[in-house]
Structure 1
């Protein structure tokens, strides 16, 4: 991975494309957690790829490529939400990307029970494997805040699951 990043920083477009291919699913999931509309998600992903390509030489530590590109993506999502002055809850529909596997669908449906600020933290932590420190950096919040939101979100999801078990 570091080698691909270094090659991309030297202007190797093929290496950059391979990096994007490797991360496109996680980028889609993160964008989808912010934006409802598939067209908006596509626009944000396109803007992210363009920004990353233009600024890849500015990435200081090659090992942080995923964190770096996710931060760019989140900034573009927030910019789009500000421009359109709307905050929409995520609704995973039958039209969702074919790349989101059936086994993941239950996870995303469960995430719907959380408010948006909890949802992105859960997606980054459980869905994408970011650690608490990385999430805090990405979302520009305190590590303890991330830990608290993870703990409160788990409690909320536990309550939801208990209610679903009782109703079955």
Structure 2
């Protein structure tokens, strides 16, 4: 992958296209986990690809291309969520949550929203996408032990929140 990154940095668009192809499935999983629908996930992915193409020369370490791209994708997803919340009022969101069969998902995401992102994304991938800790580690480019630790801490923080305590961390 590093050789493809070097070629892409030199302007080889086919190398960049291959990098995108190699990362598409991972990007889709992350985007769908954040956004919950295919249309918004596709928007986030396409915007991420454009930003990465335009800014690839700013990537400092070629080995971290996938991590860099996923970070940009997460930021794009957050932007879409902000935009979505500005468009819909809370009343509209509550109405659509009851009409939608995904009401439980909305509740789950609301509960998780008070957690730090590093715990939230792992809990979402583990429970809603049913990925195992090895898959999550590969996707996020972190060690499996880090995933296991964050999963345990996230559960503990979530339990504390559900029992009415405050979450710190």
TM superposition score category, shorter chain reference = 0.5 to 0.7
Q: Confirm whether residue 81 of structure 1 aligns to residue 92 of structure 2.
A: no
Using the alignment, how far apart are the partners of 1:28 and 1:5 within structure 2?
Answer: 20
For 1:131, the equivalent position in structure 2 comes to 142
Q: What is the RMSD computed on CA atoms of the aligned residues?
A: 3.3
- 1:51 matched residue in structure 2: 51
Aligned to 1:160: none
1:5-154 map, 5 Å: 5-85=5-85, 115=112, 117=117, 118-122=119-123, 123=125, 126-128=134-136, 129=138, 130-131=141-142, 149-153=150-154
Distance in 1, matches of 2:154 and 2:55, equals 35
In structure 2, relative to structure 1, the CA distance for the partners of 1:66 and 1:74 (3 Å cut) is same
- CA distance in 1 between partners of 2:41 and 2:32 (Å): 6
Rounded Cα–Cα distance in structure 2 between residues aligned with 1:62 and 1:55? 13
- Which residue of 1 is the match for residue 160 of structure 2? none
User: How many residues matched?
Assistant: 123
Q: Would you identify which runs of 4 or more consecutive aligned residues in structure 1 move more than 6 Å?
A: none
* Displacement after TM superposition at 1:84 (Å): 1.1
TM-score, structure 2 as length reference: 0.61
Structure number with greater CO (CA < 8 Å, separation at least 6) is 1
> Aligned equivalents of 1:34 and 1:126: distance in 2?
20
Q: Which runs of 5+ in 1 are unaligned?
A: 92-110, 133-142, 157-168
Write the deviation string for residues 92-112 of structure 1: whole angstroms up to 9, x where unpaired: xxxxxxxxxxxxxxxxxxx99
* Structure 2 residues not aligned, in runs of 5+: 103-107, 126-130, 158-169
Q: Separation in 1 of the partners of 2:155 and 2:23?
A: 27
